[in-house]
Structure 1
Amino acid sequence: MKYNTIIFDFDYTLADSTCGIVSSFNHAFSRMEIPGYDSESIKRTVGLSLDEAFMQLTGNKDEARIKRFKNLFREKANEVMSKNTVLFEDTVSTLQRLKCDGINTGIVTTKYHYRIVETLNTHGISDLVDVIVGGEDVKMPKPSPEGLLLAIDSLKAQVSDVLYIGDSLVDAQTALAANVDFAAVTTGTTKENEFSQYPCVKILENLSELFNQ
């Protein structure tokens, strides 16, 4: 492998948090007397910041409403998110193999940092990830390259030695903005042909394919 550092998005790249995400969205919407949304509509916002997801779904850009939504979302997510997050079948084996091969690993996500820590601890794999950059660790969310570059700097890696893996066009845009190689994985809502507008060194059906030559 030409890379010494591999950084992952989280939702729909390493894990499926659909149940917790949908529950938290609709809890917040219910409390705000906003009609709920179906699972597929909500899934398509995963990877965006909560602010952007709210605006995309509701068309409402009122800052006070967005703030209330985020607080209500977090309230429910604290209750349901980690216990309803399921790692993909090959997530642990992929991280273990990278660790055995001496490759640095990281997670860069719009999800809260503490939520990722909680999930990794729940599954007993916190030792397999060297750095986490969550939504609250940056001033600008993806597709700003800030989080990815912060992770790279923390790992003391060179941009040319890094591969970022994600499931969405936002992830592809983030890698491009950071001048980092990108591999798409089609375990989210984005189809293979949709990634053609961005440079991808690989398009994977699952993480295990990362090791195919």
Structure 2
Amino acid sequence: MVLRLVMFDVDGTLVDSQNDIVDSMTEAFQGLGLKAPKREAILGIVGLSLDRAIAQLAPNARPGQPEALVEGYKAAYMRNRSEKGTEASSPLYPHVRSVLQALHAQDNVLMGVATGKSRRGLDKLLDGHDLRQFFITQQVADDHPSKPHPSMLMAAASETGVEAHQAVMIGDTSYDMEMARAAGMLAIGVSWGYHSREKLTEAHIVLDDIRLLPGLLDQIWGQMA
């Protein structure tokens, strides 16, 4: 039996957290008396580690401000999630749970996540949606360079013992696709997230409906058999 690995991005791929992300980033900037970036700019950095995201959104920040923005964002995000609850603040996209269940039921398929979230943020999300049992490997920003560096995917492959050519990375941003290619994995983009289809130039395939994923993977792996 050949083991396969399916890695997922989180924000914009499994859950729709855009309102909380935008609100929290806006609050962080306004808390320092700074003009908040536009919504499109904020969503454009989703997937990057927080320090790198802040560096892109505030390239002219004064000394100390980037660190304050990071802490302000974290505080606002956790407060918003606590007040609203995970299911309301970061709802699962339609059909995500059923697809995860279908893949999890296959003995030779392992699943994991590679996210720009912190460990604390991912734990809250997985527990809030009762998703922890699906993911055997969980790679977070605390432990790796920011996407698109392939460190997260290389660690996941090492942890699971799955060769890179037997693995796929599924995500909604150009950073996910670049990371997958750098790690030697198949890059599957999704069209329902925060980067437009036009930005997913490094994707081998772009998926419009997550319900098609199990059949697509069967087709891909069948060709490799």
Give the TM-score normalised by the residue count of structure 1.
Answer: 0.91
Report the identity percentage.
24
**Aligned counterpart, 1:166:** 171
Amino acid in the other structure paired with 2:185: V
Amino acid in the other structure paired with 1:170: Y
Partners of 2:63 and 2:158 in 1: how far apart?
32
Partners of 2:3 and 2:41 in 1: how far apart?
35
1:125-164 equivalence runs, <5 A = 125-138=131-144, 140-164=145-169
3-state DSSP class of the match of 2:157?
A: helix
**Aligned counterpart, 1:120:** 126
Partners of 1:49 and 1:158 in 2: how far apart?
26
Structure 1 regions of 5+ residues with no counterpart?
Answer: none
Do the aligned residues in 2 keep the contact of 1:162 with 1:180 (CA within 8 Å)? yes
3-state DSSP class of the match of 1:7?
A: strand
**Aligned counterpart, 1:108:** 114
Structure 2 regions of 5+ residues with no counterpart?
Answer: 217-225
**Is 1:204 the equivalent of 2:185?**
no
3-state DSSP class of the match of 1:68?
A: helix
Do the aligned residues in 2 keep the contact of 1:105 with 1:128 (CA within 8 Å)? yes
Partners of 1:90 and 1:146 in 2: how far apart?
29
**Is 1:26 the equivalent of 2:31?**
no
Amino acid in the other structure paired with 2:209: N
Two-structure CA RMSD over aligned residues (Å): 1.8
Amino acid in the other structure paired with 2:116: T
Give aligned pairs, total: 209
Do the aligned residues in 2 keep the contact of 1:95 with 1:129 (CA within 8 Å)? no
**Aligned counterpart, 1:182:** 187
Do the aligned residues in 1 keep the contact of 2:153 with 2:183 (CA within 8 Å)? yes
Amino acid in the other structure paired with 1:151: A
Return closer, same or farther for 1:159/1:35 CA change in 2, 3 Å cut-off. Answer: same
Amino acid in the other structure paired with 1:154: E
